[in-house]
């Protein structure tokens, strides 16, 4: 599938009608989502034929992108039932199969090494401090092959240090820096649109964990 | 692969299945994928899960030589990828706590006192 086609399909997905501020809900735009998964597959072979989990899947954008790029099995996890319902509808619209689980990522009990790749656009931790690293911690425990994640560029050194030193990632690489537009979703946003510099990371979990 | 993570529970896997509505999906057969997954699966748990959902064709025990048999792989494929719990519950083997499943989505959220 061509990148433009992927981006276009993702652009047609339904998103949060009433995003919940306390969960830092906002859509992962089709531009970023398509590039993220395209890179994961074409540069690293982490998607096609693999089991992919989307942590904090929201309306399912990243997970569905993985399915469109021929992931063998996709699992979407999110704490919010309304988002999961939308994710379910989106999957139906695209005639794709994705397993959904409602859970708090910090309390997720997961057994075995069945997930190859985790893709995620986790909360940045602006509402619930440390949420971004909570997600990364669990992702590195569960993924057997790779974790793709978005984190604010301002946290780059922090993320690298924690991932390598505390979470024992065997590698932590910034693949590229992106600009994320967070449209004015919440009333307290003063500007119409805010551009946030965001790093796309690829982490490799500790070997034989 | 989900297990129960309530505070204090030491063995929250495998979750038992209470099946109210099971749906059979059509998933393309991919032998390589199945052969790759086989060593990662706890076979007994899969057999028990499949039985709870009404599928009893899986052999109780399996060893890696069996993955050369297409017949075996087809059964494995069916149990692993095509059986889908639409309504019912997942139950912690240690505490009996029920995690409801609605419209195919299990709700694994813990209460405050369980964390």
User: What pLDDT does residue B2 have?
Assistant: 65
Cβ–Cβ contact A153 with B under 8 A = no
Chain A residues whose beta carbon lies within 8 Å of the beta carbon of residue B26:
none
The pTM score is 0.92
What is the ipTM for the molecules in this complex? Answer: 0.90
Distance, in Å, from the CA atom of A59 to the CA atom of A86, rounded to the nearest integer, reads: 5
Return all residues near B63 (Cβ < 8 A) that are at least 6 apart. none
Q: How many CB atoms lie within 10 A of CB B90?
A: 23
Question: Distance (Å) from the C-alpha of residue B107 to the closest C-alpha of chain A?
Answer: 5
Edge-to-edge strand ranges of the sheet holding A117-120: A99-102, A73-78, A51-55, A117-120, A146-152, A193-204, A171-183
User: What pLDDT does residue B75 have?
Assistant: 94
Q: How many CB atoms lie within 10 A of CB A87?
A: 26
User: What pLDDT does residue A186 have?
Assistant: 57
Counting beta carbons within 10 angstroms of the beta carbon of residue B57, is it exposed (0 to 12), middle (13 to 18) or buried (19 or more)? middle
User: What pLDDT does residue A209 have?
Assistant: 64
Cβ–Cβ contact B11 with A under 8 A = no
Q: pLDDT digits over A74-101, tens only?
A: 999 999 999 999 999 999 999 999 999 9
User: What pLDDT does residue A193 have?
Assistant: 60
User: What pLDDT does residue A21 have?
Assistant: 87
DSSP label of A9: H
User: What pLDDT does residue B114 have?
Assistant: 86
Query: Mean pLDDT score of chain A, rounded to an integer?
Result: 91
Chain B residues whose beta carbon lies within 8 Å of the beta carbon of residue A108:
5, 108
Chain B residues whose beta carbon lies within 8 Å of the beta carbon of residue A101:
2, 105-106, 108
Longest dimension (CA), chain A: 47
Mutation for testing the B interface, residue in A71, A72, A145 having most B CBs under 10 Å: A72
Cβ–Cβ contact A70 with B under 8 A = no
Kindly determine whether residue B40 and residue A101, on different chains, have CB atoms separated by under 8 Å: no
Q: pLDDT digits over B35-64, tens only?
A: 999 998 889 989 999 999 999 999 999 998
B91, pLDDT greater than 80: yes
User: What pLDDT does residue A27 have?
Assistant: 87
Cβ–Cβ contact A197 with B under 8 A = no
User: What pLDDT does residue B104 have?
Assistant: 93
């Amino acid at each position: 599938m061509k990148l433009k086609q992927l981006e276009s399909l993702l652009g047609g997905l339904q998103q949060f009608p009433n995003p919940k501020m306390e969960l830092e809900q906002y859509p992962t735009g089709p531009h970023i989502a398509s590039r993220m998964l395209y890179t994961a597959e074409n540069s690293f072979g982490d998607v096609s034929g693999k089991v992919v989990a989307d942590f904090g899947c929201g309306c399912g954008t990243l997970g569905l992108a993985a399915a469109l790029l021929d992931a063998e099995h996709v699992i979407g996890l999110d704490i919010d039932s309304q988002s999961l319902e939308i994710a379910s509808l989106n999957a139906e619209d695209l005639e794709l199969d994705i397993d959904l689980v409602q859970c708090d990522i910090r309390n997720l009990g997961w057994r075995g090494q069945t997930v190859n790749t985790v893709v995620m656009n986790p909360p940045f931790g602006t509402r619930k401090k440390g949420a971004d690293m909570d997600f990364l911690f669990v992702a590195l425990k569960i993924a057997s092959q790779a974790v793709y994640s978005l984190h604010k560029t301002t946290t780059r050194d922090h993320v690298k240090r924690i991932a390598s030193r505390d979470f024992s990632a065997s590698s932590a690489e910034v693949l590229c820096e992106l600009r994320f537009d967070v449209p004015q979703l919440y009333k307290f946003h003063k500007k119409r649109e805010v551009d946030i510099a965001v790093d796309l990371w690829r982490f490799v979990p500790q070997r034989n964990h | 692969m989900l297990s129960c993570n309530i505070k204090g529970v030491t063995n929250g896997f495998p979750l038992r299945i209470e099946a109210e509505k099971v749906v059979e999906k059509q998933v393309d057969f991919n032998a390589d994928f199945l052969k790759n997954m086989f060593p990662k699966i706890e076979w007994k748990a899969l057999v028990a899960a499949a039985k709870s959902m009404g599928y009893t064709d899986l052999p109780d025990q399996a060893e890696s030589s069996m993955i050369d048999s297409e017949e075996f792989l087809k059964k494995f494929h069916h149990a692993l990828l095509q059986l889908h719990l639409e309504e019912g519950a997942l139950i912690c083997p240690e505490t009996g706590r029920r995690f409801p499943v609605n419209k195919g989505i299990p709700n694994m959220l813990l209460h405050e006192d369980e964390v």
